[in-house]
Structure 1
Amino acid sequence: MVLTLLICVIVTALVFEYINGFHDSANAIATVVSTKVLTARAAVIYAGLLNIAGAFMGTHVASTIGRGIVSTESVTQGVILCALLSAIIWNLITWYYGIPSSSSHALIGGLMGATISKAGYHVVHFDGVTKKVLMPMVTSPLIGFGIGFLCMVLILWLCSRANPNTVNKYFKKLQLVSSGIMALSHGSNDAQKTMGIITLALVSYHTLDTFEVPYWVILGCAVTMGLGTMAGGWRIIRTMGSKMIKLKPVHGFAAETSAAAVILTASHFGIPVSTTHIISTSIMGVGSTRGIHALKWGIVGNIVMAWILTIPVCMVIAAVLYRILPV
Structure 2
Amino acid sequence: MAKSPYTKPVLDKDLDKIGMMESAAQFVMTRAATPALALIFIVCAASAAISMSAGSAGMLFIAVAAVMAAYMAMNIGANDVTNNVGAAVGARAISLRNALILAAVCEIAGAFLAGDRVVATIKDGIIGASLTPDPDMLIIIMVSALFAAAAWINIATWLNAPVSTTHSIVGGIMGAGAAIAGVQAVNWRQLLEISAGWLLSPIIGGLIAVSFLWLIQTAILYATDRLEAAMRWVPMLLAVMSGSFVSYLLLIGVDGAVGLRTWQAIAAGPVVSVICYFPFRRVVARQADRLDRKDPSIKLLFRTPLVFSAALLSFAHGANDVSNAIGPLFAVVEASGIQSVTANQDAPFWVMALGAFGISVGLLLFGPRLIRIVGSQITKLNPIRAFCVAMSAALTVIVASALGLPVSSTHIAVGSVFGVGLFREWHVAHSTQRRIYIEAKALKGDKKAARELIAARAASEETTQSVDNNYRYLVRRSYLLSILAAWVVTAPMSGALAAGIAAALQRLIQ
Short-chain TM bin: over 0.9
Structure 2 CA distance, aligned partners of 1:155 and 1:196? 40
The Cα shift of 1:50 comes to: 0.5
The 4+ residue runs of structure 1 with deviation greater than 3 A are: none
Cross-structure match for 2:126: 69
Structure 1 CA distance, aligned partners of 2:421 and 2:312? 20
TM-score, normalization: structure 2? 0.62
**Is the 1:14–1:221 Cα contact (8 Å) retained in structure 2?**
yes
User: Which segment is superposed worse, 249-258 or 196-205?
Assistant: 196-205
Residues 1:58 and 1:82: Cα distance change in structure 2 (over 3 Å): closer
The Cα shift of 1:58 comes to: 4.0
Cross-structure match for 2:317: 186
The Cα shift of 1:194 comes to: 2.1
Larger Rg: 2
2:171 alignment partner, one of 103, 109, 126: 109
The Cα shift of 1:233 comes to: 2.5
The Cα shift of 1:2 comes to: 4.0
Superimposed CA distance per residue, residues 35-59 of structure 1 (whole angstroms, 9 cap, x where no aligned partner): 1111111111111101111112241
Cross-structure match for 1:321: 501
* Matched residue type, 2:351: V
Cross-structure match for 1:294: 474
Q: Tell whether 2:336 aligns with 1:280.
A: no
Superimposed CA distance per residue, residues 270-323 of structure 1 (whole angstroms, 9 cap, x where no aligned partner): 000001110110111122221062110101110111111111111111001112
**Is the 1:6–1:205 Cα contact (8 Å) retained in structure 2?**
yes
User: Which segment is superposed worse, 91-100 or 102-111?
Assistant: 91-100
Give the unaligned 5+ runs of structure 1: none
**Is the 1:25–1:232 Cα contact (8 Å) retained in structure 2?**
no
Superimposed CA distance per residue, residues 124-160 of structure 1 (whole angstroms, 9 cap, x where no aligned partner): 11111111x1110111111111111111111111112
Structure 1 CA distance, aligned partners of 2:324 and 2:373? 25
* Matched residue type, 1:85: F
Residues 1:150 and 1:202: Cα distance change in structure 2 (over 3 Å): same
**Is the 1:26–1:232 Cα contact (8 Å) retained in structure 2?**
no
* Matched residue type, 1:247: L
Superimposed CA distance per residue, residues 95-130 of structure 1 (whole angstroms, 9 cap, x where no aligned partner): 112111101110111011111110100001111111
Superimposed CA distance per residue, residues 238-285 of structure 1 (whole angstroms, 9 cap, x where no aligned partner): 211111011101011000001100001100110000011101101111
User: Which segment is superposed worse, 162-171 or 51-60?
Assistant: 162-171
Structure 1 CA distance, aligned partners of 2:324 and 2:79? 15
Q: Tell whether 2:251 aligns with 1:195.
A: no
Cross-structure match for 1:79: 141
Q: In the TM superposition, what are the counterparts of 1:121-132 in structure 2 within 5 Å?
A: 121-131=183-193
User: Which segment is superposed worse, 51-60 or 67-76?
Assistant: 67-76
Q: In the TM superposition, what are the counterparts of 1:159-238 in structure 2 within 5 Å?
A: 159=220, 160-161=222-223, 162=226, 165-207=296-338, 208-209=341-342, 211-238=345-372
Q: In the TM superposition, what are the counterparts of 1:11-160 in structure 2 within 5 Å?
A: 11-55=67-111, 56-73=113-130, 74=132, 75-131=137-193, 133-159=194-220, 160=222
TM-score, normalization: structure 1? 0.95
The Cα shift of 1:225 comes to: 1.3
**How many positions carry a matched residue from both structures?**
326
* Matched residue type, 1:61: V
**Is the 1:188–1:267 Cα contact (8 Å) retained in structure 2?**
yes
Q: Percent identity?
A: 28
Structure 2 CA distance, aligned partners of 1:63 and 1:276? 21
Structure 2 CA distance, aligned partners of 1:31 and 1:304? 19
Superimposed CA distance per residue, residues 213-247 of structure 1 (whole angstroms, 9 cap, x where no aligned partner): 12222222112212222224233212111110111
**Is the 1:44–1:232 Cα contact (8 Å) retained in structure 2?**
no
User: Which segment is superposed worse, 282-291 or 270-279?
Assistant: 282-291
Residues 1:227 and 1:165: Cα distance change in structure 2 (over 3 Å): farther
Structure 1 CA distance, aligned partners of 2:91 and 2:411? 20
Superimposed CA distance per residue, residues 39-81 of structure 1 (whole angstroms, 9 cap, x where no aligned partner): 1111111111011111122411101111111122424322211
Structure 2 CA distance, aligned partners of 1:142 and 1:103? 19
* Matched residue type, 1:50: C
**Is the 1:47–1:230 Cα contact (8 Å) retained in structure 2?**
no
RMSD: 1.6
**Is the 2:316–2:398 Cα contact (8 Å) retained in structure 1?**
yes
Question: SS of 1:291's equivalent?
Answer: helix
